[in-house]
């Protein structure tokens, strides 16, 4: 498979867009419409700016902005359906490079100064890139799809979400899968708690899907690579997603939607890592909203939730305290999905 890198170093630098902290919102846009966009919210002045990439560079991001990863002052925009990664300066929003001809990139995880892993929905390989040169330096054979990733010591743990049930363990010294663990079907997200234990959320597949299972939350010991705890949801129609964790790393949050239950019992749920069962009621009720993205600010613990509305209108982002009380909200763009937090520079 070919691979192209283009750079825009001659692009003139502009005055710093923002040296303060804030959060980027990845607006996916509609698949095949090429209308993905990037928003930036500054909590210090409570101001949101939409279309920050397009307004600076005068060309669109492309088709489905899946996620974003920041390394130093560079932001890597993972554009799933376009099969590419845009690199931009997070202070000026200026485009710096394009990494092209990827299959279906999903998420990026920095490993060290010269290494980052990129997961892929449709390719049996993960891509290795150098975040300093923006070049492809290798690949990792998974054999299936790859999704969310975390790193502990010298190992990366990656979920295989699409129609699969595996968690893969990769040795970063060799870039080879050293082990795999079978979980509940479709593990979609993963976090590491304060005890360095892995927590994986599996949605179990979809209603009507062949072999669909009851969704589950699984705790794994990374040293033994064995399951320590597994909690199954009470209803096979439950479809939990977007597992995240608070700054203290002792409380998980996730979205859950059960189409047969009322909106008042769907929403954002907390799960203390010492809990033995799921909360019966959500911390934040979705009510009439279509909750789609979820994240916890790693510095403040403020909970960010996006509302995709009908996947056509421009969506909203709501901010909540850890108590569940609302702080504020702001309008962004079409299908706000992922959040990427920028530290003060």
CA distances from 250 to 108, 191, 245, 277 (A): 24, 11, 7, 15
CA distances from 103 to 80, 84, 85, 216, 250 (A): 8, 8, 11, 29, 36
CA distance 123 to 126: 7
Q: What is the pLDDT of residues 52-93, one digit of tens each?
A: 999 999 999 999 999 999 999 999 999 999 999 999 999 999
What pLDDT does residue 20 have? 78
Task: Assign 4 a pLDDT band (cuts: 50, 70, 90).
Answer: very low
Q: What is the pLDDT of residues 179-222, one digit of tens each?
A: 999 999 999 999 999 999 999 999 999 877 777 999 999 999 99
Choice between 88 and 15, residue whose per-residue pLDDT is larger: 88
**pTM (predicted TM-score):** 0.93
Which domains are assigned to the chain? 5-342 (2.130.10.10)
pLDDT at 16 > cutoff 80: no
pLDDT > 90: percent of the chain? 86
Task: Assign 9 a pLDDT band (cuts: 50, 70, 90).
Answer: very low
pLDDT at 236 > cutoff 90: no
Task: Assign 17 a pLDDT band (cuts: 50, 70, 90).
Answer: low
Structure tokens at 179: 């082990």
């Amino acid at each position: 498979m070919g691979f192209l890198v283009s750079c825009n170093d001659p692009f003139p630098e502009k005055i710093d867009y923002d040296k303060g902290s804030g959060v980027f919102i990845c607006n996916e846009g509609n698949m095949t419409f090429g209308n993905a966009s990037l928003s930036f919210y500054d909590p210090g002045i409570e101001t949101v700016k939409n279309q920050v990439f397009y307004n600076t560079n005068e060309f669109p991001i492309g088709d489905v902005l899946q996620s974003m990863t920041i390394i130093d002052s560079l932001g890597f925009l993972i554009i799933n359906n376009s099969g590419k990664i845009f690199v931009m300066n997070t202070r000026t929003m200026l485009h710096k490079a394009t990494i092209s001809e990827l299959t279906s990139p999903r998420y990026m995880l920095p490993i060290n100064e010269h290494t980052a892993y990129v997961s892929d929905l449709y390719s049996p390989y993960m891509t290795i890139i150098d975040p300093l040169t923006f070049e492809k330096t290798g690949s990792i054979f998974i054999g299936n799809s790859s999704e969310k990733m975390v790193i502990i010591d010298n190992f990366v743990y990656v979920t295989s979400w699409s129609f699969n049930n595996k968690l893969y363990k990769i040795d970063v010294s060799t870039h080879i899968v050293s082990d795999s663990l079978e979980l509940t079907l479709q593990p979609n997200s993963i976090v590491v708690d304060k005890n360095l234990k892995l927590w994986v959320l599996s949605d179990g597949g979809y209603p009507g899907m062949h072999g669909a299972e009851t969704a589950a939350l699984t705790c794994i010991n990374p040293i033994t690579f064995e399951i320590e705890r597994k909690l199954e949801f009470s209803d096979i129609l439950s479809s939990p997603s977007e597992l995240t964790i608070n700054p203290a790393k002792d409380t998980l949050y996730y979205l859950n939607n059960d189409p047969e239950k009322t909106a008042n019992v769907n929403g954002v749920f907390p799960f203390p890592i010492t809990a033995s069962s799921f909360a019966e009621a959500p911390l934040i009720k979705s009510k009439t909203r279509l909750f789609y993205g979820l994240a916890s600010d790693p510095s403040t613990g403020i909970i960010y939730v996006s509302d995709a509305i009908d996947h056509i209108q421009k969506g909203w982002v709501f901010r909540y305290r850890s108590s569940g009380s609302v702080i504020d909200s702001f309008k962004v763009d079409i299908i706000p999905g992922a959040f990427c937090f920028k530290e003060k520079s």
